[in-house]
Structures are given as structure tokens and as C-alpha cells.
Amino acid sequence: MNIKVLAFGISKEIFGRSSVNLELANDATVYNLKYVLEHQYPRLKQLASYMIAVNNEYALPGDTIHERDEIAIIPPVSGG
């Protein structure tokens, strides 16, 4: 399946744009997504940490991703 990953803050700079499209296996998990992302954008590994959000919720590594989910990469937040 093809998914789009939204990017913000430092991750937008790492991607060079505000979203990227990726090919993932149909039963891919958040863990698999992070693996693919870090392979294509190794600078992600230099972040203090980052999370994946699925449909506006923080996701766990084992959570499955579906084709129409809204996926975003959440680098360390610093609001307030």
C-alpha cells in the first residue's frame, strides 16, 4: 500500500518537504514504518526521539497501519 507521512518541525527539514509518500506492506506496523523512514532518512536516527501518530493519536510500535490512515511523524515537541 502507498501511504503519506506528514512532517512537522525538524522532520519537515529532514524530509525537505511537509510530507513523503512511501510503499509499505499491507500489514505493516508502526515499527516497520519507522524502519523504512530511518533507512531513507538516516538523520531521523539523530533525533532525541520521535513518535508516529496515526489518525491524530500517538501510536505504539506494534500498531498496524491502514492505507487511509492519517500518518504523521512527531519529533520531540516543544510547545508552550
Per DSSP, what are the bridge partners of residue 54? Answer: 57, 71
User: Which of 2, 17, 23, 57 contacts other proteins by CB under 8 A?
Assistant: 57
Which x/- pattern, by CB under 8 A, does the window 2-41 give for other proteins?
----x-xxx-xx----------------------------
Give the C-alpha separation, 52 to 50, whole Å: 7
Scanning 20-28, 31-39, 59-67, 71-79 for contacts with other proteins by CB under 8 A, the matching segment is 71-79
Scanning 20-28, 29-37, 59-67, 70-78 for contacts with other proteins by CB under 8 A, the matching segment is 70-78
Residues of the shown chain interacting with other proteins in the complex, contacts defined by CB under 8 A: 6, 8-10, 12-13, 46-48, 53, 56-58, 72, 74-80
